[in-house]
């Protein structure tokens, strides 16, 4: 099956620094990628949707200047958490689809971010 | 919001018993999917049921979908301790931004006691 990888799997950073998380589709081309955030004991909340080569569409309440998403190629999307604060500590999960109408959505293993 | 609601929020059963989790949603969907997540880990896709299907089976899993009631259920038969996890339903629908997207319910935390 299709595989989505994320790097790093966990990261600890100091408040005020920026952190970049990479999401790669390993054996398929991802025309659409999604970023989710999950707080402890809660569900996944969609942060943004991005199509290759175009700007990401952010969900209501998600600061686009704080969570920078770049979908530079059909196999790579990055999420940069800028000027991170402790409240940004969360589990970030990326996901990818092979086409806009595809039923199949594949998930990465997640990245645990801890901001101290 | 399309986010589904699952019930119960938490379920504790003895090994060997069946576990039933329900999911309700609000708008039209393309399909509905169920996922499992072990604590602190990534998602595992369990089963997908399309909007024109009413029931689907996969091993010990049985999923039903009632689009008239906008609800789905996941039944796990003969539960095992290894089934202990959080279970999420996710509705797949057109986002209006040129793509389909999954929206997750709040989840049911299942504990299977050996």
Compute mean pLDDT per 10 residues along chain B, 114 residues long, and list them: 74 97 93 92 92 96 97 98 96 79 92 96
How far is residue A69's CA from residue A81's CA, in Å, rounded to a whole number? 9
Mean pLDDT of chain A: 91
Compare all CA atoms of chain A with the CA of B107 and give the residue at the minimum distance.
Answer: A43
Identify the band that residue A102 occupies on the pLDDT scale cut at 50, 70 and 90. Answer: low
- Predicted pLDDT at B2: 47
Contacts of residue A34 in chain B, CB cutoff 8 Å? Answer: 101-102
List, as ranges, residues 49-78 from A with C-beta within 8 Å of B. 49, 51, 57
Strand B61-66 with B10-14, pairing: unpaired
HEC readout, chain B = CCCCEEECCEEEEECCCCEEEEEECCCCCCEEEEEEECCCCCEEEEEEEECCCCEEEECCEEEEEECCCCEEEEEECCCCHHHCEEEEEEEEEECCCCCEEEEECCCEEEEEEC
Tens digit of each residue's pLDDT (9 = 90 or more) over A52-98: 878 899 999 999 999 999 988 889 999 999 999 999 999 999 999 87
How far is residue A91's CA from residue A95's CA, in Å, rounded to a whole number? 13
Tens digit of each residue's pLDDT (9 = 90 or more) over B9-36: 999 999 999 999 999 999 899 999 999 9
Return the SS3 of A41.
Answer: coil
Environment class of B3 (CB within 10 Å of its CB; exposed 0-12, middle 13-18, buried 19+)? middle
Q: What average pLDDT score do residues A37-41 get? A: 92
- Disruptive mutation site among B97, B108, B109, B110 for chain A (greatest number of A CBs within 10 Å): B97
Please, are residues B74 and B61 in contact by the beta-carbon 8 Å criterion?
yes
How far is residue A95's CA from residue A23's CA, in Å, rounded to a whole number? 8
- Predicted pLDDT at A97: 87
How far is residue A110's CA from residue A107's CA, in Å, rounded to a whole number? 8
Please, are residues A35 and A48 in contact by the beta-carbon 8 Å criterion?
yes
- Predicted pLDDT at B48: 93
- Predicted pLDDT at B1: 42
CA A15 distance to own-chain centroid: 20
Return the SS3 of A87.
Answer: helix
How far is residue B72's CA from residue A2's CA, in Å, rounded to a whole number? 26
CB of A101 within 8 Å of a chain B CB? The answer is: yes
Q: What are phi and psi of B67, to 5 degrees?
A: -70, -25
Q: What are phi and psi of B74, to 5 degrees?
A: -120, 125
Identify the band that residue A30 occupies on the pLDDT scale cut at 50, 70 and 90. Answer: confident
CB of A33 within 8 Å of a chain B CB? The answer is: no
Of the listed ranges A10-24, A56-70, A98-112, the one predicted with least confidence: A98-112
């Amino acid at each position: 099956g299709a595989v989505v990888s994320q790097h790093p799997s966990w990261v600890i950073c100091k408040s005020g620094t920026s952190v970049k998380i990479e999401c790669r589709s390993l054996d398929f081309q991802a025309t659409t990628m999604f970023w989710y955030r999950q707080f402890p004991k809660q569900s996944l909340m969609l942060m943004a949707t991005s199509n290759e080569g175009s700007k990401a569409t952010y969900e209501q309440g998600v600061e686009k200047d704080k969570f920078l998403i770049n979908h530079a190629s059909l196999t790579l999307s990055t999420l940069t958490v800028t000027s991170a604060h402790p409240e940004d500590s969360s589990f970030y999960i990326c996901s990818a689809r092979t086409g806009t109408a595809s039923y199949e959505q594949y998930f990465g293993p997640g990245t645990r971010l801890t901001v101290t | 919001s399309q986010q589904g609601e699952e019930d119960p929020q938490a379920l504790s059963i003895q090994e060997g018993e069946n576990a039933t989790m329900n999911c309700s949603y609000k708008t039209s969907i393309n399909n509905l999917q169920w996922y499992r997540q072990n604590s602190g880990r990534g998602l595992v896709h369990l089963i997908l049921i399309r909007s024109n299907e009413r029931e689907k089976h996969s091993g010990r899993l049985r999923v039903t979908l009632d689009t008239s009631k906008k609800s789905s259920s996941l039944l796990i038969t003969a539960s095992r301790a290894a089934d202990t996890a959080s279970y999420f339903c996710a509705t797949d629908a057109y986002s209006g931004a040129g793509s389909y997207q999954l929206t997750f319910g709040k989840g049911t935390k299942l504990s299977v006691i050996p």
